[in-house]
Structure 1
Amino acid sequence: MSFRTALSGINAATTDLSVTSNNIANVSTAGFKEGRAEFGDLYAASIFGTSRNTAGSGVRVTGITQQFTQGPIEFTNRNLDVAVSGGGFFTLNNNGATVYSRAGNFQVDRDGFVVNPTGARLQIFPPTDQTGNNFETGRLQDLQLTTTDSAPSASTEVVVGSNLPANGTVPAASPFDPNDTNTFNHSTSITLYDSLGVAHVQTLYYVKTANPNEWQLHNYIDGTAVGTAQTLQYDAQGALTTPATGFVTLPAYTPTTGAAAINLTLDLRSSTQYGERFAINDLRQDGYTTGRLIGIEFSQEGVVFARYTNGVAAPLGQVALTTFPNQQGLQNLGDNLWSETFDSGGPRRGAAGTSDFGLVTSGALEGSNVELTEQLVNMIVAQRNFQANAQMIQTTDQIQQTIINLR
């Protein structure tokens, strides 16, 4: 009986060493969770229960559990490296099977899908609009990077924050001619875009009139006058009084590119008449041309944005995180993947930063939660246990040999 008891101890120590060895081997594996061997004692039982005077029958392995504590966040500055700081697993589609992972070392396959190293596709909640705030959380979708250009958007508003000199004088020549600098005081230009994304140059010309605090604003697009001159009137403190709302709606301009007519509104609310110098403090418009994809990024809430060369950031979806009532019940599939089991309970999905889900960190990976020093100590302890049980077998053998040698 002592042989079997000691042998169970050797087997338990061997299992403990195997678990420790696996932990040490994966000390640099992204998203790896430390394993722990757990044991239970053995007692021979009869129909009347275990006798108080019965020696134990050894030890058995009751389970090898994983410790789902947070691993260190290691920054890599690679956009497709993503870490979860807090609760939740990445949700992946592995050839139709839903699996889960804490390793966020993703890449793009030849079809544009964002996948892990084994080819499992990252799952997202698809967007319901382009604001980046609303997502369809009841449906999962593969995250795929589009290879098409970002569509252009025609300019509709131009913000002009100009300061006109209070001591401005009437131009030396008249009438106004955009090709004669003697017929206007100042000018400024900005690039506009039509519905096809083609650039057009808008030029604004300022002409001082003979009336105090009054100017004429001429608007040209690609050298063609758009509407008549607009009167700008300022009060004694230099604030704009005409137009009263600060907005000027220009007539439609139809470009020669075949695009739709450009309908512009000038926002002049920040226009002033101060001092002695002309200045443009703000000049911007809301249109943009087509753009090529230059990369993606993840917000802390897991929203995936595609960034284009035209400055547009389009939401592609929100990373779907999953948690379980009993994480210890998950089945380890290898390759940093887990699957749902009956013991784990049903999955509960949500977005980063909500409920008990953690936040997403872009350009970083969650490292292994294995503490190497602790594992080395565990290895020494398991080795001692193995040696002690082996010594028990040797001692039992000597005792039996002594009995056999009795005459």
Structure 2
Amino acid sequence: MAFQQGLSGLNSSSKALDVISHNVANASTVGFKASSTLFSDMYASAMVGGTSSLQVGIGSKVAAVWQSFTQGNLTATSNQLDMAINGNGFFRLQRSDGTIAYSRNGQFDVNKDGYIINSSGDKLTGYAVVDNSGTSTVFAGEPSVIYIDTSNVAPRESGTASVGVNLNSSEKNPLNQDPVGSDITSYLNATSIPVDSYNYTTSITVYDSLGNSSLMSLYFVRDPDVAGVSPNTWTVYGRLSNDVVPDPTDPATNIGTPLEELGQMTFTSFGVLDTTVANNGNFTISRTAAQIGTGADALSFSLDLTKSTQWNTSFGVTTSPRTDGYTTGALTGVSVSSTGVLQGSYSNGLTKDIAQLALATFASPQGLTSLGDNLWAESYDSGQPTVGAPGTGILGSVTSGQVEESNVDLTTELVQMIVQQRNYQANAQSIRTQDQVLQTLVNLR
């Protein structure tokens, strides 16, 4: 019997050395999860009426090889599409045959067709954008392969524009200054405006339906003194750089862009806009297609100056100019947020949500079937996957520009290699001893 026991021990130790060698070989494999060998003893089935106290084991066997899904260390890379899962979950991939596989290896890139793939060509899956008209993008539907459209984004006509300024409360109307300035109303159709005809100026860029940019120049003029006192009202003038103004004497010739009076801004004695005045600080600018002269559609946008103040400090832009319009842009890069949202960056400064990653988790990850290539497949023992967005439920977050290293501990594996080597030698010694015992019996005379 000792031959069988020793042989089973040799087989078990050999299997354990195979597992250890596999772990060591994949110590640098991204997303690899180390395995460990579980042993169990073996006994012959007891005969009816047998005495259990006399049972002798017949050796050992490998009961299972389990993988450890503990977190590996994260390492930074230079590829923004490299991703690491920090916590529970697996990347969900669609293979070339349409089946679904799962992986912790987040080394991805974009192929020529615009799909995000791993080194084996398996496609990353996620949720598509169903609504991006609000302040936040809505993702929904069944997970599908993620496609990145590399075509230029279409231009968007400006519908709103805003800027906030501080107008110095000690400033006077140009006609009340010393020396006296110019009257800005004399230059409504002039090609240039004298600097002594207004108090302050700033500008904001807006876009027409073809993506042509037009500079909206704003001129702020404090209203004239009344009984020697400057009122808390300012008149706002504006001009668009793409405006076309025909010369009345020669319609084929343009004389420049017109300056128009947009309206007034009224401040309280505390230097903020008076909310009791209707539409205070809100203006509407409209141009026909002929007035723009770029071939674009008519342009109309609202101008919001409600963040402006009138305090006794120097003039300055206190709220950066903003508009909801933009020109056309080419895709320049893709980044991934911690919640798995893929965002495209475009040459026009636009950032656009493309899709959201789908992660999956299982009730029993040890029950997954290993497919090789850092992939696992669902099995009866693993249970069905729970699929969701990163950071929801028990799913971990995603880190862009990093990958998860193998969780193999080389020190532990090398020590276990020594242990299994000793076990192998000991089992071989038990076979050798049994052989010597039998040889002694054979040599009896």
TM range, normalised to the smaller chain?
Answer: over 0.9
- In structure 2, what is the Cα distance between the partners aligned to 1:145 and 1:331? 31
Aligned amino acid, residue 253 of structure 1: R
Q: Aligned equivalents of 1:364 and 1:128: distance in 2?
A: 28
Q: C-alpha separation between the residues in 2 aligned to 1:149 and 1:363?
A: 25
Q: How many residues end up aligned between the 2 structures? A: 406
Contact persistence 2:281–2:305 (CA under 8 A)? yes
Q: Does 1:238 align with 2:271?
A: yes
CA contact (8 A) 1:91 1:98 kept: yes
Q: Do residues 215 (structure 1) and 234 (structure 2) align?
A: yes
1:145 is displaced (CA, Å) by: 1.5
How high is the TM-score relative to the length of structure 1? 0.93
- Evaluate the alpha carbon distance shift between residue 397 and residue 185 of structure 1 in structure 2; reply closer, same or farther with a 3 A threshold: same
CA distance in 1, matches of 2:146, 2:50: 58
Partner of 1:155: 158
Is the contact made by 1:247 and 1:268 (CA closer than 8 Å) also made in structure 2? yes
Q: Return structure 1 stretches of 4+ with deviation > 6 angstroms.
A: none
Deviation sequence 1:102-148 (CA, Å, 0-9, x none): 11111111111111111100010112212554221x40211121111
What does 1:339-350 correspond to in 2, within 5 Å? 339-350=377-388
Give the aligned partner of residue 398 of structure 2. Answer: 360
Aligned sequence identity (%) = 40
Confirm or deny that 1:197 pairs with 2:203.
Answer: no
Change (3 A) 1:191 1:301: same
Report the CA distance shift for 1:50/1:64 in structure 2 as closer, same or farther (over 3 A): farther
Deviations for 1:159-191, whole angstroms, at most 9, x for unmatched residues?
232233323232433343151304333322222
Give the SS at the match of 2:130: coil
1-structure distance, mates of 2:313, 2:161? 25
**Alpha-carbon distance change, 133 to 393 in structure 1, aligned in 2, over 3 angstroms:** same
TM alignment of 1:221-232, pairs within 5 A: 221-222=240-241, 224-225=257-258, 227-232=260-265
The answer to whether the aligner puts 1:173 opposite 2:182 as a matched pair is yes
The Cα shift of 1:233 comes to: 3.4
Of residues 353, 357, 361, the one that matches 1:315 is 353
Cα 1:189/1:335, change in 2 over 3 Å: same
Amino acid at match of 2:281: F
Worse-superposed segment, 226-235 or 284-293 = 226-235
> Unmatched 5+ residue regions in structure 2?
176-180, 244-256
1:376 is aligned to: 414
Letter in 2 for 1:63: A
Aligned-partner Cα distance in 1 for 2:317–2:393: 48
d(CA) in 2 for partners of 1:79 and 1:348? 26
Matched-pair contact (CA < 8 Å) for 2:172–2:224: no
Please give the TM-score of this superposition, normalised by the length of structure 2.
0.86
What CA deviation, in whole Å up to 9, does each residue of 1:269-289 have, x standing for no partner?
232333374333234121221
Residues 152, 290 of structure 1: 8 Å contact kept: yes
Partners of 1:86 and 1:229 lie apart in 2 by: 56
What's the secondary structure of 2:107's corresponding residue?
coil
Query: Is the 1:192–1:202 contact (alpha carbons within 8 Å) kept by the matching residues of 2?
Result: yes
